[in-house]
Amino acid sequence: MNSESYSSTQQFAESRYEGYRFYTETIEVTRMSALAFFEAGRDGHAGKRMYWQNREKTFTLVGLGHAHVLTSDAAQGRFQNIKVDWKSLCRQIVNEEHAVQPVLFGGFSFDPLNDKESEWTNFPQAYFAVPTFQLILKGEQAYVSIHLITEQHESFAEFEALRKERDKLIHAAQVSEVDKYDKPQAIGHLELRKEEYLHSIQQVTDTIKAEEVEKVVIARALKLEFDEKLSPTAALYQVSNEQPESFLFGLEAEEQFFFGATPERLVKVEDKKALSTCLAGSTPRGKTVEKDTELGNALLADPKNRGEHQYVVNMISEVFEAYCSQASVPKLPKLMKIRDIQHLFTPVEGNLNPGATLFDLVEALHPTPALGGEPKLEAMEMIREYEALNRGYYAAPVGWIDAKGDGEFAVAIRSALLDGKEAYLYAGGGIVADSTPQSEYDETWVKFRPMLRALGGQLSDES
């Protein structure tokens, strides 16, 4: 495409929502449980709810209902499609709020070119929504916003009805009992394609030794069965207790619910400052302080894990060099210790260049070699060829952006898809030349642990 036709396409896309009106109204309320607000939407907004809490627990977002949905099934261009549509929608905002901005929440699939049939039946390649009711908890403050996006210009009655519903949702959340979210209990489990998984690691290490690629992340899935339909609220509640030091996210797509507690930030943008996290290289927690320290020190000194980590640092540094000024990257990794696992961790930051946006960074960073590999395109092809699953939204960017362009995306690992009476759990690991199928298999069990405990699916051969 030449640049002239490109810019006219872009202009058309940017005026797509001309004629729409995007009404917002925000009130400050007494702080309430975000999960109780999520649960309050169960009857009226099931299938259209979203949940997010950052690692530091300083920002929580709950969305109920869809004021507007943005999706894309384009293999190429899905990041830019969502970016341009969001910009176009934001131009129609009628009454700017200052306390909080309207938020768009959602995610992208891991690999739109993977055409294996899968359980991800309700998730397009990109799926975002502006919630009708938006709860934001920020520090000590709580705000509830109503969003109405419409082509009709006489929407007072509709808005009045939304105000009534908002008051009911707030009341229900404020008076509800939080400790009723029982732990699910799995009645059966299945390791999906275990032999294929083990074999794929052998194939990948052989290819790495032949110097055709350097690193490839390979994942596998478990399936749990239950005798009744799982509650998204209970699942979120349980996993946040099992792994509190994480981003907590949940995204409903009709009767399917994708959620998780991930330690990995893909990218955050706040006031033109960009932050990312290199997270790769793993070892379990020790049972005693001494053992834990010993394992951590061994991880910091281990060439295999340091190698896995360095590919991620190099790639994220290059992206930051391209999109930011004053990119800063510590020379040595630190340990990130969470409930079941310790990781090598290097934070990266920089100042976003003029014109660059959060979606540009998401596109450039996804997938980092913590979930894809090095070189990126060859690794993606190998994952498509050798990995026995279609990842759907596992290992992909999930997060939010506001009308000013601030926002944050996590890498959706340590996650599961709930589908009626079934749950699919996913975990993988970075394969380098000296990986072995058994040690990678063991590493996936450590990564499955918090989700298995949350869903009552501990296996007898797993501690």
Ligand X SMILES: C=C(O[C@H]1C=CC=C(C(=O)O)[C@@H]1O)C(=O)O
Helix axes 3-14, 78-90, angle to 10 degrees: 50
CA-CA distance, 54 to 139, in Å (whole number)?
12
Nearest CB to ligand X, comparing residues 132 and 435: 435
Nearest CB to Mg ion, comparing residues 55 and 309: 309
Binding residue (CB under 6 A) for ligand X from 125, 243, 282, 346: 282
Work out how close the CB of 64 gets to ligand X at its nearest, in angstroms, rounded to a whole number. Answer: 29
Nearest CB to ligand X, comparing residues 66 and 414: 414
Residue 67 in contact with ligand X, rule: CB under 6 A: no
Residue 279 in contact with ligand X, rule: CB under 6 A: yes
Q: Catalytic residue among 48, 83, 215, 223, which?
A: 215
Binding residue (CB under 6 A) for ligand X from 67, 316, 371, 451: 371
Nearest CB to ligand X, comparing residues 186 and 217: 217
Q: In residues, how long is the chain?
A: 463
Binding residue (CB under 6 A) for ligand X from 201, 253, 280, 336: 280
In the residue annotation, 264 being an active-site residue is answered as yes
Of 7-15, 35-43, 292-300, 428-436, which segment contacts ligand X by CB under 6 A?
428-436
Binding residue (CB under 6 A) for ligand X from 41, 124, 250, 281: 281
Of 58-66, 79-87, 173-181, 425-433, which segment contacts ligand X by CB under 6 A?
425-433
The distance from CA 216 to its chain's CA centroid, rounded to whole angstroms, is 20
Residue 333 in contact with Mg ion, rule: CB under 5 A: no
From Mg ion, ligand X, none, which one binds at residue 413 (CB under 5 to 8 Å depending on kind)?
Answer: ligand X
In the residue annotation, 215 being an active-site residue is answered as yes
CB atoms under 10 Å from CB of 302, counted, come to 16
Of 5-13, 73-81, 86-94, 421-429, which segment contacts ligand X by CB under 6 A?
421-429
Nearest CB to ligand X, comparing residues 39 and 308: 308
Residue 429 in contact with ligand X, rule: CB under 6 A: yes
Footprint (CB under 6 A) of ligand X, residues 299-358 = 308, 343
Work out how close the CB of 418 gets to ligand X at its nearest, in angstroms, rounded to a whole number. Answer: 18
Helix axes 194-209, 376-386, angle to 10 degrees: 150
Footprint (CB under 5 A) of Mg ion, residues 414-453 = 429-430
Of 124-132, 231-239, 427-435, 449-457, which segment contacts ligand X by CB under 6 A?
427-435
Asked if 237 contacts 181 with a C-beta cutoff of 8 angstroms, the reply is yes
Q: Catalytic residue among 39, 242, 252, 264, which?
A: 264
Residue 372 in contact with Mg ion, rule: CB under 5 A: no
Work out how close the CB of 265 gets to ligand X at its nearest, in angstroms, rounded to a whole number. Answer: 12
Size of the site for Mg ion (CB under 5 A): 3
Footprint (CB under 5 A) of Mg ion, residues 277-296 = 282
Report the catalytic residues. 215, 264
Which positions lie near ligand X, rule CB under 6 A? 217, 219, 264, 279-282, 308, 343, 370-371, 413-414, 427-430, 447
